[in-house]
């Protein structure tokens, strides 16, 4: 599970060290526990019955649309466009393949600069594809690939001024901010410093762990705010949230509700260190939505094999960008991805039950 997440999210980017690459940044650390969470607000989901949705992975709210994208085992019709007001299915986009305008799998969809258009990222062929949501073609209207050079980025998000921001592997640099063309705007953080905030299992010391292993431990979704100035990254294996302000490159790290790393052993894959969490490991944060003034994180806290279990269902924590906990929402359906309509106070999600579909929770 954890290895597949890493491989599926690798993005090759070019880095030119002559640019502004100051890696120094201020970091604050905030801890919270279960006792610090507000009383849970119980939310009741209203599930859609859109037949075209078969195995959803995530979603995006944009303009008047809800976009739901599918997992890899779906061939053509990689994502579906639903009218937000009526809840009616409109059309699907995304033709399977590696040719011009085609796409093999979608790991993330985000808004483009133009209204009614979005970028979908294919991590397997390292390609961004732009789609017009109002035309009927399955094909992308524009695309670009990343150059294969020295740095790897994982779980990218679009940031301010149509730049890109993501976490790095194969080096101790933690985050990179770069232009669409691949020019480096800024390098941030150090993976070894990150791991110093935690007690390591098996008597391991930070110097025992290479960059590939540390970055794998802290893998997880990353999303930017609507104006692209704030970025939030969460851990799928670790209870941590990085809140990054791109104006000044300041990071707040939120640790909780558990302050402990899960037990792992050092394994190896193709001579690279990889964390082996064992069969009893749990998934922590499954998704994040970065809003105008607050952000929402989807907490799981159970083993992957219990993803669809009706017991101990997902919770959503809402924070402001200063790291203050505002609300805790208890969902009544198993959900994998979320997006939030802040104006109408609706949390949308995609379910992972026996009949997966789109669901909405008014909060």
For the residues of 261-317, what is the DSSP string, one character each?
A: PPP-EEEEETTEEEEE--TT--EEEEEEEE-SSEEEEEEEEE-GGGTT-SSS--EEE
Q: Is the pLDDT of residue 127 over 70?
A: yes
Dist. CA 288–CA 221, nearest whole Å: 7
Q: Is the pLDDT of residue 13 over 50?
A: no
- CATH number for the domain harbouring residue 277: 2.120.10.30
Dist. CA 343–CA 84, nearest whole Å: 13
Dist. CA 199–CA 74, nearest whole Å: 41
> Taking all residues of the chain, what is their mean pLDDT, rounded to a whole number?
90
Per residue in 59-94, pLDDT (tens digit) is 999 999 999 999 987 889 999 999 999 999 999 999
Per residue in 166-183, pLDDT (tens digit) is 988 778 899 999 998 888
E strands present in 142-226 = 142-145, 151-158, 164-169, 173-178, 184-190, 222-224
Q: What is the average pLDDT across 233-239? A: 97
Dist. CA 120–CA 159, nearest whole Å: 15
CA-based end-to-end distance of the chain: 32
Q: Which residue matches tokens 């809402």?
A: 318
Identify the pLDDT of residue 150. 58
Does pTM surpass 0.85? yes
- 106's tokens: 């979608």
pLDDT level of residue 15 (50, 70, 90 thresholds) = very low
Q: Is the pLDDT of residue 148 over 60?
A: no
CB 337 within 8 Å of CB 323: no
Give me the percent of the chain exceeding a pLDDT of 90. Answer: 78
Three-state DSSP state, 207: helix
169-177: long-range contacts (C-beta < 8 A, 24 or more apart)?
Answer: 169/6, 169/10, 169/211, 169/212, 169/215, 169/216, 170/211, 170/212, 171/211, 172/211, 173/23, 174/215, 175/244, 176/13, 176/15, 176/151, 177/246, 177/249
* Count of domains for the chain: 1
Q: Is the peptide bond before 342 cis (omega within 30 degrees of 0)?
A: no
The residue range of the domain holding 304 is 2-362
């Amino acid at each position: 599970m954890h290895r597949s997440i890493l491989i599926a999210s690798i993005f090759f980017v070019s880095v030119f060290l002559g640019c502004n690459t100051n890696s120094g940044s201020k970091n604050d650390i905030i801890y919270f526990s279960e006792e610090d969470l507000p009383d849970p607000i119980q939310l009741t989901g209203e599930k859609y019955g859109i037949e075209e949705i078969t195995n959803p992975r995530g979603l995006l709210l944009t303009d008047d649309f809800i976009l739901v994208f599918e997992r890899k085992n779906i061939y053509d019709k990689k994502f579906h466009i639903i009218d937000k007001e009526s809840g009616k299915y409109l059309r699907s986009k995304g033709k399977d393949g590696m040719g011009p305008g085609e796409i093999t799998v979608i790991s993330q969809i985000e808004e483009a600069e133009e209204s009614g258009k979005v970028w979908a990222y294919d991590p397997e062929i390292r390609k961004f594809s732009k789609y017009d949501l109002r035309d009927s073609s399955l094909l992308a209207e524009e695309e670009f690939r990343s150059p294969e050079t020295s740095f790897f980025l994982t779980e990218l998000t679009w940031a301010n001024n149509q730049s890109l921001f993501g976490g790095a592997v194969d080096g101790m640099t933690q985050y990179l901010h770069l232009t669409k063309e691949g020019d480096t705007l800024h390098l941030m953080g150090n993976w070894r410093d990150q791991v110093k905030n935690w007690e390591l299992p098996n008597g391991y010391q930070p110097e025992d762990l290479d960059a590939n292993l540390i970055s794998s431990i802290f893998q997880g979704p990353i999303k930017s705010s609507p104006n692209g100035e704030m970025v939030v990254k969460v851990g799928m294996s670790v209870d941590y949230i990085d809140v990054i302000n791109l104006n000044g490159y300041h990071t707040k790290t939120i640790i909780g509700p558990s302050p402990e790393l899960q037990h792992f052993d050092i394994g190896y894959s193709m001579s690279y260190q990889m964390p082996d969490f064992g069969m009893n490991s749990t998934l922590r944060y499954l998704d994040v939505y970065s809003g105008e003034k607050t952000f929402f994180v989807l907490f799981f806290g159970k083993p992957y094999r219990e993803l669809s279990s009706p017991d101990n269902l997902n919770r959503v924590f809402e924070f402001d960008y200063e790291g203050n906990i505002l609300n805790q929402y208890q969902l009544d359906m198993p959900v994998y991805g979320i997006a939030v309509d802040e104006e109408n106070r609706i949390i949308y999600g995609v379910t992972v039950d026996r009949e997966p579909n789109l669901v909405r929770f008014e909060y």
